[in-house]
């Protein structure tokens, strides 16, 4: 199996898993619905929608959502090009799969933003419907990203002596996310933890190319000086 095939299969697997879970949640529960996973208090399914980035972060309206969607599409285009370059450069499979996870996660959330507002009704007043007669709840590129994974592992209060947040309530892990967010996070962490040599190799390659370029630029100057010196000697 070629490296390209492995990348494509991983992207498709993550996308199918991500979209299947999102569509099931969207068509099964009202907004803010919550239930335990496997009977565990710290692992829950909580249906949330957000117009922003991973883990619920967002840009201010009125143009924040549109700008974010356009940026995602631009970033994904660059990432696809970059992965193709890595494949041609015979990069390691682990590095390629890490970038494939990031690509799959970005594509998963782009699908929500681009199409969910057009094909689903809103979820705020009840369970959404697919292809409602009255039309979707938002236009192209203005859909909400569906989140559902919630892991409030522990909660409590910071001690009074704790800087900035002393005495304040906290809950870890507070953000609600989805499989696409998880894929992006795993891909980034994998690159940082297991493929740091890639960045070192790229830097060394760049330095060698710069050195070779400087050497090539010096050769004509040296040839000119040698020619001038030879002409002076003949005179």
Q: What are the catalytic residues?
A: 147, 181
Round to whole Å and give the CA distance between 130 and 120: 5
**CB neighbours of residue 198 within 10 Å:** 16
d(CA 21, CA 81): 28
Tallying the residues shown for the chain, one arrives at: 235
As a whole number of Å, the CA-based R_g of the chain is: 26
Neighbours of 163 (CB within 10 A): 6
Q: Measuring CA to CA, which residue among 161, 60, 180 is closest to residue 113? A: 180
What sign does the dihedral 189-12-35-56 (CA atoms) show?
A: positive
Q: What distance lies between CA 33 and its chain's CA centroid?
A: 26
Report the relative pairing of strands 145-150 and 154-157 from DSSP bridges: unpaired
């Amino acid at each position: 199996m070629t490296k390209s095939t492995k990348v494509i299969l991983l992207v498709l697997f993550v996308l199918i898993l991500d979209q299947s879970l999102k569509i099931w949640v969207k068509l099964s529960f009202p907004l803010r619905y919550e239930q335990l996973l496997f009977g565990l208090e710290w692992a829950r399914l909580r249906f949330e929608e957000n117009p922003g980035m991973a883990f619920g972060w967002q840009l201010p309206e009125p143009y924040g959502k549109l700008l974010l969607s356009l940026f995602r599409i631009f970033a994904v285009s660059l990432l696809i090009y970059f992965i193709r370059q890595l494949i041609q450069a015979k990069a390691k499979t682990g590095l390629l799969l890490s970038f494939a996870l990031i690509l799959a996660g970005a594509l998963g959330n782009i699908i929500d933003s681009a199409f969910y507002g057009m094909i689903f009704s809103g979820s705020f007043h009840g369970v959404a419907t697919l292809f409602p007669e009255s039309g979707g709840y938002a236009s192209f590129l203005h859909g909400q990203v569906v989140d559902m994974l919630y892991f409030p592992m522990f909660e409590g209060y910071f001690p009074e002596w704790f800087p900035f947040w002393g005495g304040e309530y906290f809950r870890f892990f507070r953000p609600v996310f989805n499989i696409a967010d998880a894929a992006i996070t795993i891909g980034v962490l994998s690159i940082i933890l297991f493929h740091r040599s890639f960045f070192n190799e790229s830097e060394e390659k760049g330095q060698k190319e710069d050195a070779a370029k400087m050497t090539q630029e010096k050769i004509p100057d040296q040839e000119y000086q040698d020619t001038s010196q030879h002409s002076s000697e003949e005179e």
